[in-house]
Structure 1
Amino acid sequence: MKFLLSVCCCLFSAVAFTQPGINEMQQAQQDLSSSFFSAFDCCMVLACLFGLLGGLRIYHNWQMGKDRIDSAVAAWFFASFFMILSGPFLRALFGI
């Protein structure tokens, strides 16, 4: 029984040494935060492009005399709105 208990203690201590340290966790958080801000900027650029392209397409359709542009307005607006909200959502999700 003592032998089994000592083997279990040795195995638990070996598992404890294999866990990553605080330095590695801080490095991972720093790497994530540095790459996240470029992803956040990418979300803002995509939202701007969706807004501009959507506005141009809607203007073109309106000038061509198409009556039903309401669905196109909503689609382009919500595509841009989704990209704007995805940045803060990811920031809250990852705790950055």
Structure 2
Amino acid sequence: MKYLLTVAACIIAAIASAQPGISEMQQAQHDLSSTFFSAFDCCMVLAFIFGAFGGLRIYHNWQMGKDRMDAAVAAWFFAAFFMILSGPFLRALFGI
């Protein structure tokens, strides 16, 4: 009976240590950490594009004499601000 329990415990330990997906998870973590900085740079580039394009549109509307541009200024500012904050948020979310 002792031998049967010992063999059963060894078989269960061998099955438990051979869980599928551990190497895949390590590969996914490596891929994520290697491509994250390009995603972070992409967030910064998008923030620059939003800021520059928004600034040009607001300047154009101001020169054309449009009134009440407060909503447009806030919209473009917060779009760029959101993209700037999304990089550190993703870094904290994924633990990189």
TM range (shorter): 0.7 to 0.9
Residue identity in the other structure for 2:76: W
Distance in 1, matches of 2:88 and 2:36, equals 11
**1:66-81 pair list within 5 angstroms:** 66-81=66-81
2:11 match: 10
Q: Where do 5+ consecutive residues of structure 2 fail to align? A: none
Aligned positions, number = 94
Q: Under a length normalisation based on structure 2, what TM-score does the superposition of the two structures give?
A: 0.80
Superposition CA RMSD, Å: 2.6
Give the Å deviation of 1:16: 2.6
Distance in 1, matches of 2:78 and 2:25, equals 39
For each residue in 1:18-41, what CA deviation from the matched residue of structure 2 results, as whole angstroms up to 9, or x when unmatched?
Answer: 2425x962x432221110000000
1:39 match: 39
1:85 match: 85
Q: Where do 5+ consecutive residues of structure 1 fail to align? A: none
2:95 match: 95
Residue identity in the other structure for 2:59: Y
Give the Å deviation of 1:14: 1.6
Distance in 2, matches of 1:24 and 1:82, equals 30
Q: Under a length normalisation based on structure 1, what TM-score does the superposition of the two structures give?
A: 0.80
Percent identity among equivalent residues? Answer: 69
> Which runs of 4 or more aligned residues in structure 1 lie more than 2 Å from their structure 2 counterparts after TM superposition?
6-13, 27-30
Distance in 2, matches of 1:90 and 1:28, equals 16
Residue identity in the other structure for 1:46: L
Give the Å deviation of 1:13: 3.3
